[in-house]
Amino acid sequence: MIKVGIIGATGYAGAELVRLLLGHKEAEIVWYGSRSYVDQSYASIYQNMFQLVDATCMDDNMEELAAKADVIFTATPQGLCASFINERILSSTKVIDLSADFRLKDVAVYEEWYKIKHQAPQYLEEAVYGLCEINREKIKTARLIANPGCYPTCSILSIYPLAKEGLIDLSTVIIDAKSGTSGAGRGAKTDNLYCEVNENIKAYGVAGHRHTPEIEEQLGYASGEHVTLNFTPHLVPMNRGILVTAYASLKKNVTYEEVKAVYDKYYEKERFVRVLPENVCPQTRWVEGSNYVDVNFKIDPRTNRIIMMGAMDNLVKGAAGQAVQNMNLLFGLDEAEGLYQAPIFP
């Protein structure tokens, strides 16, 4: 059995990790880390785990945990994993970080967008960006994996085939994205109160959301060119889900069949990316609770633009599910182990 430790087990992403790993045939959770709830029963924090998890929360001593676990998930705020990580830890265990600490290769870009000093820039080059569909082979041999952000995962997977094949003008990309409130975490914030969110939709982080450089960097790797784009997220009154609608100008006239062939080239054999039939738009309800990403596109010949769409669960493929997928690759397991759940409906 793979011995798993979770630091940040009482946040939404951490709790989703617990839920998924309880159904994993090859994994055993040995450490439920939570700075806020040390010595408190895990099931008293998440009552859905009553009689399923008989464990108390421990602290965030990553060095002690490294001696007990084969892999550590850090579902923590930005800056925490980087402040803990060192060579002793990485020599003893694998680390899958769900924060943004190791997603960006340029420390100056990280510090500019996240407004904190990076505590471990020496590991930025080594860290592997854990988008399994793109970096599968690199992930298999990594010590440190940077689990992608939720918005970037959906945005990149929706756009990637066309960026890789050079079919779109990347200087024209506009991404309109919407997310459920769980994406903001479990912390008490006025903007996330029921009365603030219910019956409302709003844009936030306009022209400055910190997931922007992550999307630009990865699409830049795909296309081989520098990418600058507009990314605007919105908060919608639902618990889970992300919907991305992205727009770009086409470099040449293409047919539906030609574009579909491009998506199939990259995703036909992918377990968790589903390219939908023609004229079927992705919806969050059809991926909720699962590790699936539904993608599709629509060509607009009137404007010579293409609309690229994607939907996924921000807590599963956007966080915990992708982290488990990365763990499976690290340990040579079936990539879908622990992730067989069909989307839930209603």
Sheet containing 144-146: order of strands? 27-33, 2-7, 71-74, 94-97, 144-146, 128-129
Model confidence at 186, pLDDT cuts 50, 70, 90, reads confident
Q: Are residues 162 and 280 in the same domain?
A: yes
Q: Are residues 197 and 302 in the same domain?
A: yes
Residue 23: domain span: 2-126
Q: What is the mean pLDDT of the chain?
A: 97
Mean pLDDT over residues 17-37, rounded? 97
pLDDT tens profile 212-227: 999 999 999 999 999 9
From the candidates 132, 150, 154, 281, give the one annotated as an active-site residue. Answer: 150
Q: What is the pLDDT of residue 185?
A: 87
pTM for the whole thing? 0.97
Q: What CATH number is associated with residue 235?
A: 3.30.360.10
pLDDT tens profile 147-167: 999 999 999 999 999 999 999
Torsion over CA: 73, 79, 80, 81 (sign): positive
Of 109, 126, 143, the residue that ends a domain is 126
Give the H or E element holding residue 173.
Answer: strand 168-179
pLDDT tens profile 187-213: 878 988 899 999 999 999 999 999 999
Amino acid letter at 77? P
pLDDT tens profile 291-312: 999 999 999 999 999 999 999 9
Tokens read off for 185: 């975490």
pLDDT tens profile 241-292: 999 999 999 999 999 999 999 999 999 999 999 999 999 999 999 999 999 9
Q: Which of 95, 94, 66 is nearest to 82 (CA)?
A: 95
Q: Which residue has 């990314």 as its token pair?
A: 231
Q: Are residues 70 and 34 in the same domain?
A: yes
Q: Is 150 known to be catalytic? A: yes
Q: Are residues 185 and 286 in the same domain?
A: yes
Phi, psi dihedral angles at 294 (to 5 degrees): -95, 130
Q: Are residues 195 and 105 in the same domain?
A: no
In a domain, 336, yes or no: no
Decide: 135 and 129 in contact? Cβ < 8 Å.
yes
Q: Are residues 277 and 187 in the same domain?
A: yes
- The percent of residues in the chain predicted with pLDDT above 90, rounded, is 97
Q: CA 40 from chain center: how many Å?
A: 28
In a domain, 103, yes or no: yes
Q: What is the pLDDT of residue 188?
A: 75
Query: Which residues are paired to 295 by β-bridges?
Result: 275, 310
125 burial level (CB within 10 Å; 0-12, 13-18, 19+): exposed
Q: Are residues 45 and 164 in the same domain?
A: no
Q: Which residue has 């915990």 as its token pair?
A: 320
Model confidence at 237, pLDDT cuts 50, 70, 90, reads very high
* Helix residue spans in the chain (DSSP H): 12-22, 42-45, 62-66, 80-84, 87-92, 107-114, 132-140, 150-164, 194-197, 212-223, 256-267, 321-330
Q: What is the pLDDT of residue 184?
A: 86
pLDDT tens profile 89-131: 999 999 999 999 999 999 999 999 999 999 999 999 999 999 9
Rounded-to-10 torsion of CA 162, 168, 173, 174: -70
Q: What is the pLDDT of residue 106?
A: 98
Q: What is the pLDDT of residue 177?
A: 98
